[in-house]
Amino acid sequence: MPTKGWKGLTESDNFQALAIAKIMKKFTDEGIEVQLRFAHEVNWYQEDGTYKGTADDFKQGWAAVAAAVKDNDKVKMFFTPNIAAKLEDYVAYMPDDLSTVHLLG
């Protein structure tokens, strides 16, 4: 959960994304498939202040984490926005590269 901002979760500054991938690898090396709910319910947590930033910050973070775990076929990226009143709310947070969304909840 990016509760302290999105630092390290961009293409050019991905140290947090790489750290997430390293932890996921510990699980997958043990044979455990991971459903990674990165920044789950982001549209709610940005409204209540738990997460800072914008939908674009989330999308950059998602892309950075997806890139960091892309070679690990036992990690499935799970897009889980919070319930929204309008379809546009979901669309605003939908990752740009839909091939990185393996599960939707």
pLDDT in tens, 46-93: 888 888 889 999 999 999 999 999 999 999 999 999 988 889 989 999
Query: Which region among 2-16, 22-36, 69-83 has the lowest average model confidence (pLDDT)?
Result: 2-16
pLDDT confidence of residue 65: 98
pTM: 0.92
Are the C-beta atoms of 51 and 42 separated by less than 8 Å? yes
- The terminus-to-terminus CA distance of the chain in angstroms comes to 17
Token pair 């947070």 in the structure block, residue: 93
